[in-house]
A and B are shown apart, each in its own frame.
Chain A
Amino acid sequence: MANLKEVRNRITSVSSTQQITKAMKMVSAAKLKRATNAIVQLRPYANKLKDILVNLSSSEIASSSPFLAERKPHKVLLVVVTSNRGLAGAFNTNVIKATNQLVAEKYAEQHAKGNVNILAIGKKGQDYYQRRNYPMVGQHNELFTNLNFENTSAITQSIMDGFLAGDYDCVELVYNQFKNAVLQILTTERLLPVKAAEPGEVASKGDIDYIFEPSKEEIVEQLIPKSIKLQLYKAVLDSHASEHGARMTAMDKATDNAGELLKSLKLSYNQARQAAITTELTEIVSGAAALSNG
């Protein structure tokens, strides 16, 4: 027979856990809303910038921007976007797994020479790769406490400087793309060198005669760093929203599970209680019977 007191204690502890997971779910839902808002806010800027770039490159793509230069990837930088906190299901594990796979499949040679650098945005990735003695670039965990374009740009700027100085020949980005609250798409994309715009993407209004100031080339050269910054910013925003989405789902499941556990615990508690009462009754009845017989 299960100990009554033991079961009662478990019921209290499970129901307080359930309260916590429920609260966390609601907090995540609120944060998710803000995070998706930021993505929506970014969209007009991103679209317009892309428009202008396409307009510019529709005629000739002979840009001499150093960010387009393809080099043999001797030194690689991987930008790994995770979260600062756990309890978000497989959110962080997925990113780390994908990064490890990328290293194993594409950059094994560079890794053997210690030329795979990791720039972690988010504490989980930072901790993981630090423990495994990867060369780390900077520390960017506090980005999420004040997530805006300017702070993210500072990171992008340091990456671009490193690329120009030859510290890295290739920069790749691993993050969770935000699809909706329950769906995150694990994405690996190249940040640097920038892939030249595809010739097929000719703008519909490409026949407009723009005046270019100071000159077409200089505008392109100024816009490319902007679009790189934008790409990283978008990745971070996506990851941020995905994190809350993943946590919301995980906490929702945890709350459900706690509910189920409570149900079965209550059942066994009542069973135990009933058994105790029955035993007591039998004892009393048989005691009384023994007395009257005597």
Chain B
Amino acid sequence: MKLSIITPDKSVYEGEVTSVTVPGTLGSFEVLENHAPIISTLDDGKVIIRKHKEEEVIRIKGGVVEVIRNNVTVLAEAVLDA
């Protein structure tokens, strides 16, 4: 599935991933292939991106995530340096 992480200043991440964990307001959750459409607000925290065996962590500051038809869009207010 496709993941994009966007802040108002720049596009932080763009690419194919196998799964992604986002810091939802009601608790962190993982999005896998064919996840149901969801819109959730996000707290400050870590977005964990998994691509086969590789793992990448991006720390974001608040935002919202939309999942629709294997397109995951994370709108973050800002990205903190890892």
Which A residues fall within an 8 A CB radius of B?
Answer: 38, 41-42, 44-46, 48-49, 51-52, 55-56, 148-150, 153, 205, 208-214, 218-219, 222-223, 226, 230, 233
Contacts and interface: CB of A to CB of B under 8 A. Distances in A.
| B contacts with A: majority SS | strand
A213 B38 contact: yes
A38 B8 CA distance: 9
B13 to A, nearest CB: 12
Interface string B13-53: 00000000000111000000000111111000000000000
Contact of B37 (A48, A208, A219): A208
A150 B81 CA distance: 14
B75 interface: yes
A214 B75 contact: no
B36 A211 contact: yes
Contact of A222 (B6, B37, B64): B64
A52 B9 contact: no
Given A48-B73, A49-B75, A211-B37, A41 B11 contact: yes
A42 B75 contact: no
Contact of A213 (B6, B39, B75): B39
B7 A218 contact: no
Interface in B51-82: 64, 66, 68, 73, 75, 77-78
Contacts, number: 79
Given A149-B77, A208-B68, A213 B9 contact: no
A214 B41 contact: yes
B75 A48 contact: yes
A9 B66 CA distance: 67
A150 B41 contact: no
Interface residues of B, number: 23
> A51, A56, A226: which has the most chain B beta carbons within 10 Å?
A226
Given A205-B68, A211-B38, 14 more contacts: A41-B8, A41-B11, A44-B6, A45-B8, A46-B8, A49-B64, A49-B75, A56-B39, A149-B77, A149-B78, A208-B37, A211-B36, A213-B41, A219-B40
A55 B7 contact: no
Interface of B: 4, 6-11, 24-26, 36-41, 64, 66, 68, 73, 75, 77-78
Contact of A223 (B8, B24, B64, B78): B64
Contacts of A44: 4, 6, 11
B78 to A, nearest CB: 5
Contacts of A223: 41, 64
Contacts of B39: 52, 55-56, 210-213, 219
A285 B72 CA distance: 94
Contact of B25 (A38, A211, A214, A233): A214
Given A210-B39, A213-B25, A214-B25, A148 B9 contact: yes
B9 A38 contact: yes
A55 B41 CA distance: 15
Nearest to B41: A222
B64 to A, nearest CB: 6
B55 to A, nearest CB: 24
Contacts of B73: 48
B10 to A, nearest CB: 5
A209 B11 contact: no
A44 to B, nearest CB: 5
A219 B66 CA distance: 11
